[in-house]
Amino acid sequence: MTTMDIAARSSQGRTFLAILWRDIFVTGRKLGLFFAENAIQPLFMLFVFAEVLQRTGYVSQAYGDLLLPGVVAITTFLTALQTVAFPLALDLGWTKEIEDRLLAPLPTYLVAVEKMLVGTIKGIGTAIVTFPVGTLMLGSAPWRASGIPLLVLFLIIGGWVGSAIGLTMGTIMAPERINIAFALVLTPLMFTGATQYPWRSLDTLPWFQVVTAANPLTYLSEGIRSAVVPQIPHIASWLCLVALLASGAIFTVIGTRGFLRRAID
C-alpha cells in the first residue's frame, strides 16, 4: 500500500466519522421527539399487556418478565428499521437530499454503511431507555449480570439486522406508497416476531410457528430472553445468533446493491 493510498483512506475515514457525527448530533438536538416517536408505542404495549391485564387478572405477574425482553427487542429492531427506511425512501425519491452525501469524498457504498450504523446506534439507544423505563413501569425487571454480554451482543446484531432491512425497504419503496408499504410490512413483523410470547409455546400451533420462524425479529426476541430470563423456554442462543447474522448479511447485500443502483440512477 502506497503513502497516497494510506492518505486517501485516512481522509475517507475522517469524512465518514464527520457524517456519522452530524447525524448523531442532529438526533441529539431532537432527543425527546426521537424517543417519543420510537419508544411510546412499545411502552404502552408493555403497560397494557403486562400491567393492566395483570391487575385485572387476565395474565400472571410473571408475564411481565416474558414481555419486557420482547418489547426491548421490538423497540430496537423497528427503531433501526424505520430510522433508515423512511428518510432514505424520501431522499431517493422526492427531496434528492441524498445527493449531498453522494458528493462527499467517500465510496458510495460507505454512504449506505453510515446509514445502517446510524440506525443501529439509534436502535440500541431506544433499548437503553426502554429497559429502565419498563422496569419502573412494572416495578421490577428480569436481568442477570452474567447475561449482560449476551444482551449487548444481541442488541448490536439486532439493530444491524433492522437497519439492513430498512436499507432494503428504503431502496425498494416508492415515496408515494411508503405508508402502504409500512402497514403491509411492519404490522406482520410486529405480531409474528415472538415479542408477546415465546416461540416454543407455539408447539400447539405449528403453522404459525413456521411463519414466526421466518421473521428475523423472532430470533432477537428469543436471544434477549436467553440473556435475561433463561428459565423461560427459548430458542438456543447460538441458533438465534446464526439466524440473525445470516439475515443481516443477506439484507445488507440486497440493500447495498439497491442503494448503489438508485444512487447511480
Q: Is residue 91 part of a domain?
A: yes
* Residue pLDDT, tens place only, 47-67: 888 888 888 888 887 888 888
Q: Is residue 4 part of a domain?
A: no
Q: Is residue 202 part of a domain?
A: yes
Q: Is residue 1 part of a domain?
A: no
How many domains does the chain fold into? 1
* Residue pLDDT, tens place only, 70-126: 999 999 999 999 889 988 888 877 666 677 777 778 888 888 999 999 999 999 998
d(CA 174, CA 4): 41
Q: What is the pLDDT of residue 265?
A: 67
Q: Which of 92-106, 156-170, 230-244 has the lowest mean pLDDT?
A: 92-106
Q: Is residue 3 part of a domain?
A: no
- Domain containing 84: what range? 16-264
Q: Is residue 219 part of a domain?
A: yes
Residues ≥6 apart with Cβ < 8 Å to 245: 157
Q: Is residue 178 part of a domain?
A: yes
Q: Which helix (H) or strand (E) holds 203?
A: none
Contact between 60 and 138 under an 8 Å Cβ cutoff? The reply is: no
Q: Is residue 9 part of a domain?
A: no
d(CA 213, CA 200): 10
